[in-house]
Structure 1
Amino acid sequence: MKQIDKKLFGSFIAQKRKEKNMTQQDLADKVYVSAQAVSKWERGKSLPDITLLMPLANILDVSLVSLLEGKEEVDPKAEGLLEKMVGINEDVKVSKGKINKKRLGILLIILAAVCLEYLILYKKFNLEIANFLTPGILGVIFSTYLWLAVDERLPSYYDENRISFVAQGIFRMNMVGVYFNNKNWKKILTYLRIWIILLMVIYPMAGFLNDKYAMIAMSVVIITTFAPIYVISMKNQ
């Protein structure tokens, strides 16, 4: 199989980027990577993840074959074949869909249990609806997205660069000092999924606390949101 010439590939990206009056940071922002990653591509030190090839080609207004060949004149017949090859990540999406069905079942059971808790708090303990309406609505939205829509695997360029920002759809996460990679991301995501459910369960209990203890409880919530993520990250760099 023909190998990609990293130097030629990188020079071509740099050329096309400059033709569009974009800085390395501009290009990095468009494909959600660091400027350092773009710099490595352009210097021929590394190649982007396969999932970035089509977005890069579209941003630079070149064909996929031209991008990989590092030149303008290419065989047009090769374009369709190459696009099919890049499309192999569709298999990953199918696999992810199967996993989502399993997660969906678990999530529905958990949410049903939370609803039962809220009903008991309302009926038996006369807790006002306002105490669990907000955490309930936000919890359902965030837990559904975290459990079903956020991918457990990051593109390989996260393993090659120190990136502290993750963007998947509407999900955004940026933490100073935390560098996401495939060693820590699944563990961090698992923690966030569990944390949001626990928050839905525990938060309404604040309705039984006075103002002093309610403030302490809020501080605990904030600490337990971020501190474990830092710990997980440090242990799995």
Structure 2
Amino acid sequence: MFEIDKERFGAFLLELRKEKGYTQKQLAEKLFVSDKAVSKWERGLSLPDITLLGPLADILGVTVTELLQARRISEEKTMTKLEVDDLVSGSIHLSVEEQEEKRVRQRKRMICFLLCTAAAALETWGLMRTGGGKEIFSTEFFTIEGMCLLFGAWFLLFARETLPSFYDENKINYYSQGPFRIHIAGVHFNNKNWPHVLRAGRIVMMGIVVFNPLFSFLLFKILGAAWWGRYRGYVSLAVVLCTFIPLVVAAKKNE
């Protein structure tokens, strides 16, 4: 079976990119991927998603066949049946490899989610035993923790990593998937900023899950029960706002 030589593919990609005069960042922007992804392809560390082969070939002015074989093919030359079969087998192998990489990433994210949830639970339990649990760990606190856990699970485990093409062709400021919906005025989602939005969402949601118990406990101890009873609603509001600000910054910066 024909297997794509990653190093040869990377060298050919590097050659084509330089011929076109593109930087890694410019090529990445045209494909709506990160420049780190392009760097990995060129260094032979990974291969592009099979869905990117067509657009990548078009941008670089070669055919998908030439891209997969990592060499230019003259128009006079015709491929034999065996070469065609090998090429198709290589494409299938590439697709299988992509799926395995996605499964590995999904497992890592699942482990991250479980570890953060366990850490927050242990932290909350430990702080409640030290005193002040009724004042600190109120309905507002558990509402915020539950909301961040729910959205954190979505960002980590269920959110699609790419958006439909019409997001790149139109200015759309919302995204919905099942019961989940993100709607931010002034922000336009597309495949250029979506990976950054997902990353920001994962970090901020799970970060609040883990650090909110300790943050609330320290505020309570430093400022006192009277202050906490009067202003804890504002603290909860500030925490909620903190979940949106990184998403807006990530989206606008990479829009």
* TM bracket, shorter-chain basis: 0.5 to 0.7
The one of 158, 162, 168 equivalent to 2:177 is 168
Structure number, greater radius of gyration: 2
The alignment partner of 1:146 has SS state of helix
Q: Which consecutive unaligned segments of at least 5 residues does structure 1 have?
A: 1-49, 51-87
Deviations 1:87-146 (Å, cap 9, x if unpaired)?
x9x977765443211210121111111111111111123413545543343333332222
The one of 127, 131, 134 equivalent to 2:143 is 134
The one of 186, 191, 196 equivalent to 2:200 is 191
The verdict on how the C-alpha distance between 1:191 and 1:206 changes in structure 2, with shifts beyond 3 A counting, is same
For normalisation by structure 2, the TM-score amounts to 0.50
Q: Determine the structure 2 residue equivalent to 1:144.
A: 153
Q: Which consecutive unaligned segments of at least 5 residues does structure 2 have?
A: 1-50, 52-91, 221-226
Q: Determine the structure 1 residue equivalent to 2:242.
A: 224
CA–CA distance in structure 2, aligned partners of residues 161 and 182 of structure 1 = 12
Q: Which amino acid aligns with 1:159?
A: D
CA–CA distance in structure 1, aligned partners of residues 211 and 239 of structure 2 = 10
Q: Number of residues paired by the alignment?
A: 150
CA–CA distance in structure 2, aligned partners of residues 105 and 210 of structure 1 = 34
What's the CA shift for 1:219?
A: 4.1
Tell whether the 8 Å contact from 2:163 to 2:191 is kept in structure 1 after alignment: yes
Q: Determine the structure 2 residue equivalent to 1:118.
A: 124
CA–CA distance in structure 1, aligned partners of residues 245 and 195 of structure 2 = 17
Q: Which amino acid aligns with 2:244?
A: F
CA–CA distance in structure 1, aligned partners of residues 158 and 177 of structure 2 = 8
Deviations 1:156-189 (Å, cap 9, x if unpaired)?
2212221111112222111111100112111111
1:51-70 → structure 2 map (5 Å cutoff): none
Q: Which amino acid aligns with 1:110?
A: C
Tell whether the 8 Å contact from 1:183 to 1:236 is kept in structure 2 after alignment: yes
Tell whether the 8 Å contact from 1:139 to 1:200 is kept in structure 2 after alignment: yes
RMSD: 2.8
What's the CA shift for 1:154?
A: 1.4
CA–CA distance in structure 2, aligned partners of residues 97 and 171 of structure 1 = 23
* Deviation larger for 96-105 or 124-133: 124-133
What's the CA shift for 1:155?
A: 2.0
1:85-100 → structure 2 map (5 Å cutoff): 96-100=102-106
